[in-house]
């Protein structure tokens, strides 16, 4: 699409919306930037200086039909009435990722999945940057694609974390390498059914060609059954694959492109094995030498808010796993713990169930401290499964203090909520940062 002179409505003015509005204005579009908030703090020069018209504190229902294009932020549900109006008038509704893709001159590696995508994206970014210093990491990881796209050249490489919310508004998006790490129940308050959720995730490879690659988690039944138009490359922690990347007696092994490679021993990596395998598969498909992959895997320290070690106080270790916003991810957090766990969980209601998570407690969890919107539902689930070591609290500060009081030297306190954060916090990062703050504020008498 030629943007010069086009009327474009940008809805939602968090970082990605602002970035999209700025890019469109630079391309000569007539931009109206809308948000339900009456005040927006801008990350760049004032919108007026760029010729961007503001529509703040108002809904765009009455004006949407006068635009050539609508660009929405991922947090805006796709079924709102004003978007239905746009579709009935055949007005394209894109997300920021689709907008950036239309301008991108270089190959894209796109990574999605219910769990692990931030860790894998970060790791792949680090590995690729050793191989190609012009690699840029963008997307759901917190850096809008549109912030970088106008500075990219054909020799660059983009590594992008892509969420299901972002994939809802992709149409021509076609990465050279894509990955679907796993599919488990999540965001059903938005997507309604698992079938819709999975179909949305599959949009990441829908436009790929037979020369492209898609990396799929073999151990996940939903991923194993996918039928992309591109080359399927599996990774597995459980099966020794004829073709793919897998564990073999503690070694990451890759049988790809007529080669049989031993990459590195998994116990040298400080991340979950499935994430290391996925990153290895992606980077081998991108042409990275195995030695560079091995060195990066060994040196990778993980990401903030994902099984992040905080500190040890009087023999009690504290871990921040705030990014565990669903039960499958929270189970992974529990699996990573080597000590008895005092667990802090609960949060926003995404219409999830908690049985699988609670069933895992008996092997790991000494005590559960629960808070947030789904607190009562989690307690009911605990009772149903015969787990009775729990307390309910009203704040994260109270949870941290009680967790420390319940812990003994040799235990660990783990924030791994199994829920989104939006009932009490702006995002999981804020929740995790506050957890760390409250941990460092602990000044109790020594345990005896």
Which residues make Cβ contacts (< 8 Å) with residue 50, sequence separation at least 6? 22, 25, 26, 31
pLDDT, position 448: 42
pLDDT band at 186; cut points 50, 70, 90: low
Instruction: Tabulate helix, strand, coil % of the chain (nearest 5).
Output: 35, 25, 40
Least confident of 127-131, 300-304, 428-432: 300-304
pLDDT, position 394: 96
Rounded mean pLDDT of the chain? 93
pLDDT band at 132; cut points 50, 70, 90: confident
CA distance 218 to 236: 5
Task: Reply yes or no on whether the pLDDT at 443 is more than 80.
Answer: no
Which residues make Cβ contacts (< 8 Å) with residue 413, sequence separation at least 6? 316, 317, 318, 319, 341, 342, 344, 400, 403, 404, 407, 439
Give 80-140 as a 3 state SS string: CHHHHHHHHCCCCEEEHHHHHHHHCCCCEEEEECCCCHHHHHHHHHHHHHHHCCCEEEEEC
Question: Rounded to the nearest 5°, which phi and psi values hold at 181?
Answer: -75, -40
Least confident of 80-84, 185-189, 339-343, 384-388: 185-189
pLDDT tens across 16-45, in order? 999 999 999 999 999 999 999 999 888 877
Task: Reply yes or no on whether the pLDDT at 322 is more than 60.
Answer: yes
CB 342 within 8 A of CB 407: yes
On the 0-12 / 13-18 / 19+ scale of CB atoms within 10 A, 291 is exposed
Tokens, residue 448? 């005896």
pLDDT, position 309: 83
Task: Reply yes or no on whether the pLDDT at 445 is more than 60.
Answer: no
Q: Is 261 helix (H, G, I), strand (E, B) or coil?
A: strand
CA distance 150 to 424: 37
Select from 38, 37, 1, 45 the least CA-distant residue to 19: 45
For helices 96-103 and 15-26, angle between their N-to-C axes, nearest 10 degrees? 40
pLDDT band at 49; cut points 50, 70, 90: confident
Task: Reply yes or no on whether the pLDDT at 260 is more than 60.
Answer: yes
Q: What is the distance of C-alpha 187 from the center of its chain? A: 12
């Amino acid at each position: 699409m030629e943007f010069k002179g086009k009327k474009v409505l940008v809805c939602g003015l968090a970082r990605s919306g602002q970035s999209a509005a700025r890019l469109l204005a630079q391309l000569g579009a007539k931009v109206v930037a809308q948000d339900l908030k009456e005040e927006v703090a801008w990350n760049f020069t004032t919108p007026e200086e760029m010729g961007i018209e503001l529509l703040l504190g108002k809904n765009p229902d009455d004006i949407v039909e006068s635009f050539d294009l609508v660009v929405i932020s991922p947090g805006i549900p796709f079924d709102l009435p004003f978007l239905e109006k746009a579709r009935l008038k055949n007005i394209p509704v894109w997300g920021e990722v689709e907008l950036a893709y239309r301008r991108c001159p270089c190959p894209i590696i796109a990574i999605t999945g219910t769990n692990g995508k931030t860790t894998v994206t970060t790791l792949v970014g680090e590995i690729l940057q050793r191989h190609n210093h012009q690699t840029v990491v963008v997307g759901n990881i917190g850096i809008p694609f549109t912030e970088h796209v106008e500075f990219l050249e054909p020799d660059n490489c983009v590594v992008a974390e892509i969420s299901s919310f972002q994939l809802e508004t992709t149409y021509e998006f076609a990465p050279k390498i894509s990955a679907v790490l796993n599919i488990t129940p999540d965001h059903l308050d938005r997507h309604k059914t698992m079938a819709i959720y999975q179909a949305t995730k599959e949009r990441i490879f829908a436009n790929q060609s037979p020369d492209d690659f898609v990396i799929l988690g073999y151990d996940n039944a939903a991923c194993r059954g996918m039928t992309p138009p591109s080359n399927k490359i599996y990774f597995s922690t459980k099966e020794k694959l004829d073709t793919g990347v897998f564990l073999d007696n503690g070694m990451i092994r890759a049988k790809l492109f007529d080669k049989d490679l031993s990459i590195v021993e998994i116990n040298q990596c400080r991340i979950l094995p499935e994430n290391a395998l996925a990153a290895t598969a992606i980077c081998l498909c991108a042409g990275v030498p195995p030695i560079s992959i091995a060195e990066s895997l060994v040196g990778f320290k993980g990401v903030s808010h994902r099984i992040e070690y905080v500190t040890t106080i009087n023999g009690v270790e504290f871990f921040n796993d705030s990014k565990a916003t669903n039960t499958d991810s929270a189970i992974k957090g529990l699996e990573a713990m080597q000590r008895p766990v005092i667990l802090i969980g609960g949060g926003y209601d995404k219409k999830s169930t908690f049985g699988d998570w609670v069933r895992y407690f008996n092997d790991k969890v000494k005590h559960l401290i629960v808070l947030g919107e789904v607190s009562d539902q989690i307690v009911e689930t605990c009772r149903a499964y015969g787990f009775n070591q729990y307390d309910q609290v009203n704040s994260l500060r109270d949870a941290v203090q009680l967790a420390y009081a319940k812990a003994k030297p040799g235990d660990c306190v783990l924030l791994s909520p199994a829920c989104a954060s939006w009932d009490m916090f702006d995002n999981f990062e804020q929740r995790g940062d506050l957890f760390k703050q409250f941990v460092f504020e602990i000044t109790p008498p020594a345990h005896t």
